[in-house]
Chains A and B, each alone.
Chain A
Amino acid sequence: EPEVTQTPSHQVTQMGQEVILRCVPISNHLYFYWYRQILGQKVEFLVSFYNNEISEKSEIFDDQFSVERPDGSNFTLKIRSTKLEDSAMYFCASRGTDYGYTFGSGTRLTVV
């Protein structure tokens, strides 16, 4: 069964540093998403991406965040200057033309 792959599985970074979280969506999927889950809280939508542009973003997704699909296979989330409150599990997901999301196994980001 095709999978969405996320790397790294765990990243520790210092406050103020830039981080890039990487995702390889399912190859024939067209819609891409990032969600995050702060420890003990619910999974929250960050951004959706289609046709090489952001189609929707949440209020969490401020100027510190950006997404990119640099080479037609990877889908990245960049946080420019990390804050302590960015510590969370970040999930990438992709979707084809039907309803079905496929989630990655997540990247645990710890900001110290």
Chain B
Amino acid sequence: AQRVTQPEKLLSVFKGAPVELKCNYSYSGSPELFWYVQYSRQRLQLLLRHISRESIKGFTADLNKGETSFHLKKPFAQEEDSAMYYCALKEGGNYKLTFGKGTLLTVNP
């Protein structure tokens, strides 16, 4: 069963528009969720961790346990935000990460 679902494979917005990348999870315990970003041909980079409640590059994400969601949001998208975004769930004491399939965000000028 899918534990992390990113329903949108592709998302295209215009520069300056708000963007929301959806992530839903399935986990019986207390979830620990992350967003990773992968710019073209580069490594996976940690963007956000829900526990830290910080804002990186203008992105925020709030854990909603009632809706089992951890959507990533940014009020004004920039062209340099174009990348692949992965939602990930930490499972177990070994810190194994279970990734969603990813959403390719394209920000058009």
Listed in ascending order, the chain A residues whose CB lies under 8 Å from chain B are 4, 31, 33, 35, 41-45, 48, 50, 55-56, 91, 95, 99-101, 103-106
Interface size band for B: 20 to 34
* Nearest opposing residue in chain B for A45, CB measure: B96
Closest chain-B Cβ to A98's Cβ sits at a distance in Å of 10
Q: CA of A106 to CA of B95 in the docked complex: distance in angstroms?
A: 20
Q: How far is the CA of A106 from the CA of B32 in the complex (A)?
A: 25
Q: Which one of B43, B86, B100 lies within 8 Å of A104 (CB-CB)?
A: B43
Residues of chain B from 49 to 95 with CB closer than 8 A to chain A in the complex: 49, 51, 86, 90, 92, 94-95
Chain B min CB distance to A30 (Å): 11
Q: Separation in Å of the A44 CB from the closest CB of chain B? A: 7
Q: Which of B42, B94, B99 has the most CB of A within 10 A?
A: B94
Alpha-carbon distance between A44 and B98 when the two chains are bound, in angstroms: 7
Option from B49, B95, B96, B100 in Cβ contact (under 8 Å) with A42? B100
B23-36 vs A, Cβ < 8 Å mask (1 yes, 0 no) = 00000000010000
Residue of B whose beta carbon sits closest to that of A4: B43
Q: Are B46 and A101 in contact (CB under 8 A)?
A: yes
For the A-B complex with A43-B97, A95-B95, A101-B97 known, give 15 more contacts whose Cβ atoms are closer than 8 Å.
A31-B94, A42-B100, A42-B101, A43-B102, A44-B99, A45-B97, A55-B94, A56-B92, A99-B90, A99-B95, A100-B46, A101-B46, A104-B43, A105-B42, A106-B43
B104 to A: closest C-beta gap in Å: 11
